[in-house]
A and B are shown apart, each in its own frame.
Chain A
């Protein structure tokens, strides 16, 4: 019988990989999650702690999937501290996915926003010419650089890292690099996931040059299924209409890049 995506499935964490001092990847077996489309997410229950939306990360082994989590507040720290052999609950996958174009592609990921980008890389064609930009605060916080290079070994490709403090790769914000690249050459598809200001600038840079661009949005999520309303951005519900929206649509959204809603639903400035 086909699984109902809304029902909670309990999975056991089989492997914990330290990516940086504050980022870990937790691997588990689950056929459904191992096959999700790039951009889709799961609601992840950490028993006794909380439930969080998480992008579904790839795993090298078939039938397995993963979450890559950055330790932040109580919920993500709870997930970060899960040990091998412990159980978590998952429901989903939820949300839509990126539309993959062919040709010259630019993928931009900041922090754990790289997760959907890694899955997107597993879908590129060998003929695509792919540039991946990885943004991080400092050298300590860079991860998935090797993974991106490995996934692209059969493609013409570049993986460029930028750190805000210049301790590794190029110095400065990744959005400055985006602006430089899109002003020099045309990309057939630009994809971005990360902090909203970074996505906003990337979308502006690409959309103003009439390039196809898509961003995967993050909002406070409680239900994941379009009931609670907590994830709204303007008229859009991120969990149900997104998480992926294209530049054309985002350029008409008054809240994207400017406001988010806090846990009580009050609109606040970024």
Chain B
């Protein structure tokens, strides 16, 4: 975060305010992460985002081979707020990506992976052996690419195999990212927890579409995409609350967060950290420091010295 403001606030209030948070074994200096798929392909950009206040960057979801993704249009701005995207998980592939981030020392990087069988995840994790990786996030919830993402998350038995394989491949913490599919997402969460998952990210985008009334055609080239941004915030918040009510597992809240109030809501619902993506499109990368600063002021006002003190408070009411 903005070091100057941080020390100013700390001395002004004569307390040791800290934005540090832990998600199980994962320690972060700041609780706001960049969500997967947003600005996620260049180490130079990661460095810039880190200077702009992110606690960690989650990479674009990587596959064993490079993917071009769908043709444009891949993004649509919804009237009334939010975005629908069907980028189609375009990515340079795990091997190329691992080479690119090898020099990284400073930025906490969470590598997001997508695949259809347990071996895919094992192969990819091995590619990152020479890289400093804070955690892996398994994308079990992309709603618009066949055979991966939600189709995997919708099969709890497959989820178990994938999580078990990933856990057996590395000691680095493994996060499962869940979303709304045809199987109740709580079954996916349970399957992941049974297999030893370290944390849960909830939620991914929600399957959606847009049709243009003039030309009478679906706008996205893939017709369907994932809805993100402010319209899904209440849904994501509900999911975080539900998971934290049912399980004792570290949670990362994601979906429609764009202000410090949104962030605090997710902490109160049970999240130890948050991710955001769409808000970058709306407010550019200043959004990270704005949220960090807002959280700090709130903590002071409510007399908290750490994020941990507010995690899950709404469940006690």
Given known A8-B219, A89-B219, contact A51–B72 (CB-CB < 8 A): yes
Q: Judge whether A225 and B41 touch: CB under 8 Å.
A: no
Please report which residues of chain B, range 67-91, place their CB below 8 angstroms from some CB of chain A when the two chains form the complex: 67-69, 71-77, 79, 83, 85, 87, 90-91
Q: Judge whether B67 and A264 touch: CB under 8 Å.
A: yes
Cβ 8 A contact of B281, one of A7, A223, A230: A223
Cα–Cα, bound, A87→B41 (Å): 34
Cβ 8 A contact of A50, one of B45, B48, B71: B71
Cβ 8 A contact of B212, one of A89, A228, A234: A89
Q: Judge whether B41 and A230 touch: CB under 8 Å.
A: yes
Query: Chain A 28-57 against B: per-residue CB contact (8 Å), 1 yes, 0 no?
Result: 000000000000000101011011100000
Given known A4-B77, A227-B281, A232-B44, contact A264–B90 (CB-CB < 8 A): yes
For B41, the chain A residues whose CB sits under 8 A away are 229-230, 232, 261, 265
Count of inter-chain pairs, beta carbons less than 8 A: 122
Cβ 8 A contact of B280, one of A224, A227, A264, A267: A227
Query: Chain A 194-238 against B: per-residue CB contact (8 Å), 1 yes, 0 no?
Result: 000000000000000000000000000011111111101011010
Cα–Cα, bound, A121→B217 (Å): 38
For B69, the chain A residues whose CB sits under 8 A away are 222, 263-264
Q: Is the interface of A mostly helix, strand, loop or mixed?
A: loop
Q: Which residue of A lies closest to B220 (CB)?
A: A51
Is B7 positioned at the interface, with any CB of A under 8 Å from its CB? Answer: no
| Chain A nearest Cβ from B174, distance in angstroms | 24
Known: A222-B72, A227-B83, A228-B85. 19 other contacts (CB 8 A): A6-B281, A8-B212, A8-B219, A10-B214, A43-B73, A91-B77, A222-B87, A225-B75, A226-B280, A227-B75, A227-B278, A227-B280, A227-B281, A229-B41, A229-B42, A229-B60, A232-B44, A263-B68, A265-B90
Please report which residues of chain B, range 256-305, place their CB below 8 angstroms from some CB of chain A when the two chains form the complex: 277-278, 280-281, 284-285
The size bracket of the interface on B is 35 or more
B contacts, CB < 8 Å to A: 37-42, 44-45, 47-48, 60, 66-69, 71-77, 79, 83, 85, 87, 90-93, 96, 100, 212, 214-215, 217, 219, 221, 277-278, 280-281, 284-285
Is A159 positioned at the interface, with any CB of B under 8 Å from its CB? Answer: no
For B75, the chain A residues whose CB sits under 8 A away are 222-225, 227-228
Cα–Cα, bound, A232→B45 (Å): 8
For A224, the chain B residues whose CB sits under 8 A away are 75
Q: Judge whether A235 and B280 touch: CB under 8 Å.
A: no
| Chain A nearest Cβ from B136, distance in angstroms | 19
Cβ 8 A contact of B39, one of A50, A91, A229, A267: A229
For A52, the chain B residues whose CB sits under 8 A away are 72
Is A157 positioned at the interface, with any CB of B under 8 Å from its CB? Answer: no
For A10, the chain B residues whose CB sits under 8 A away are 212, 214-215
For A266, the chain B residues whose CB sits under 8 A away are 66, 92-93, 96
For A151, the chain B residues whose CB sits under 8 A away are none
Query: Which 4 pairs from chain A and chain B are nearest by CB?
Result: A6-B77, A51-B72, A229-B39, A51-B73
Cβ 8 A contact of A265, one of B83, B91, B278, B280: B91
Is A75 positioned at the interface, with any CB of B under 8 Å from its CB? Answer: yes
For A45, the chain B residues whose CB sits under 8 A away are 73, 219
Q: Which residue of B lies closest to A89 (CB)?
A: B212
Query: Chain A 249-264 against B: per-residue CB contact (8 Å), 1 yes, 0 no?
Result: 0000010000001111
Q: Judge whether A227 and B72 touch: CB under 8 Å.
A: no
Cα–Cα, bound, A103→B311 (Å): 61
Is A125 positioned at the interface, with any CB of B under 8 Å from its CB? Answer: no
Query: Chain A 101-127 against B: per-residue CB contact (8 Å), 1 yes, 0 no?
Result: 000000000000000000000000000
Cβ 8 A contact of A228, one of B71, B74, B93, B284: B74
Q: Judge whether A232 and B278 touch: CB under 8 Å.
A: no
Is A186 positioned at the interface, with any CB of B under 8 Å from its CB? Answer: no
Q: Judge whether A230 and B90 touch: CB under 8 Å.
A: yes
Q: Which residue of A lies closest to B46 (CB)?
A: A235
15 A-B pairs in the complex with CB atoms less than 8 angstroms apart: A10-B215, A50-B72, A89-B212, A222-B75, A225-B77, A226-B281, A227-B75, A229-B38, A229-B39, A232-B42, A234-B42, A235-B48, A237-B39, A264-B66, A265-B41
| Chain B nearest Cβ from A225, distance in angstroms | 4
Is A171 positioned at the interface, with any CB of B under 8 Å from its CB? Answer: no
Q: Which residue of A lies closest to B279 (CB)?
A: A227
Q: Judge whether B39 and A226 touch: CB under 8 Å.
A: yes
Most chain A CB within 10 A, of B44, B91, B221, is at B44
Is A240 positioned at the interface, with any CB of B under 8 Å from its CB? Answer: yes
Cα–Cα, bound, A267→B45 (Å): 14
For A7, the chain B residues whose CB sits under 8 A away are 77, 79
Q: Judge whether A225 and B96 touch: CB under 8 Å.
A: no
For B72, the chain A residues whose CB sits under 8 A away are 43, 50-52, 75, 222
